[in-house]
Amino acid sequence: MSLGYALRRIVEEYPLARTDPPAGHPLAHVIRKGAPDELRRALAPLDGPFLVKGSPGRGSHWAAVPWLAVFDPAVTTSATRGYYLVYLFPAHRQAVHLSLAQGTVAAIREHGPRSGDHLRASGARLRLRLSDFSKDLPVASIALGSAGELPEGYEAAHILGLSYDLDALADERRLQADLATGLAAYRALKARGGLTP
């Protein structure tokens, strides 16, 4: 398997997989284990202690938006807080987004119904802080095609990134280069004060 193959498998198989229970499902295993293993291999040439996790959902429920994330443990070890690099899989089209994103759940807890506005405003400030990455990571907003507090929160929490259709996932060299660029932006944000205004 390769990173591109793992991402493609999730994109292609997730809609049908959701019609079955997630417990013991082969695709849930790919998201939790296979895809994170491929992402770790892709990260191996890049310096740094990275924590990699994938989530197809919790318990007996598939996620509206599955994800595969890279965490710098000095920043966060969870998608709920801080900021991190993540692959997000939209429900409404065959694509994947590479997103430098803010933790959503912490913002929802702190700001309640205004969390989306808070995250979007914060994202706009952070894009300015990372303006030197805007050419290489030009996607400033993403759509995940799913209603609900978390999917809408992920959309609002996006800072910058890239989007891939299925054909683009065949270019492993590009995926590796883009991952390195995403990590460079992640490190730059950390060096430039993180989420602090």
Domain range spanning residue 138?
3-191
pLDDT at site 131: 98
Express as a percent the part of the chain with pLDDT over 90. Answer: 94
pLDDT digits 0-9 by tens, 18-37: 999 999 999 999 999 999 99
- Is 120 part of a structural domain of the chain? yes
d(Cα 137, Cα 149) in Å, to the nearest integer? 26
> What are the start-end ranges of the H helices in the chain?
3-17, 26-29, 35-43, 104-111, 115-129, 149-157, 172-191
Q: Cβ neighbours of residue 94 under 8 Å, at least 6 residues apart?
A: 11, 12, 165, 166
- Is 197 part of a structural domain of the chain? no
pLDDT at site 128: 97
- Is 196 part of a structural domain of the chain? no
pLDDT digits 0-9 by tens, 64-81: 999 999 999 999 999 999
- Is 78 part of a structural domain of the chain? yes
pLDDT at site 47: 84
Average pLDDT (32-58) is 95
Average pLDDT (79-95) is 95
Instruction: Identify the CA nearest to 176 among candidates 8, 36, 44.
Output: 44
> Number of structural domains, the chain?
1
pLDDT at site 39: 98
Averaged confidence pLDDT in the chain: 96
Q: What angle do CA 185, 111, 131 make, to 5 degrees?
A: 20
d(Cα 112, Cα 128) in Å, to the nearest integer? 25
Q: What distances in angstroms separate CA 40 from CA 22, 57, 179, 193, one per listed residue?
A: 24, 21, 11, 26
pTM above 0.85, yes or no: yes
**CATH of residue 26:** 3.30.920
3-state class of 102 per DSSP?
strand
d(Cα 1, Cα 3) in Å, to the nearest integer? 7
Average pLDDT (5-30) is 95
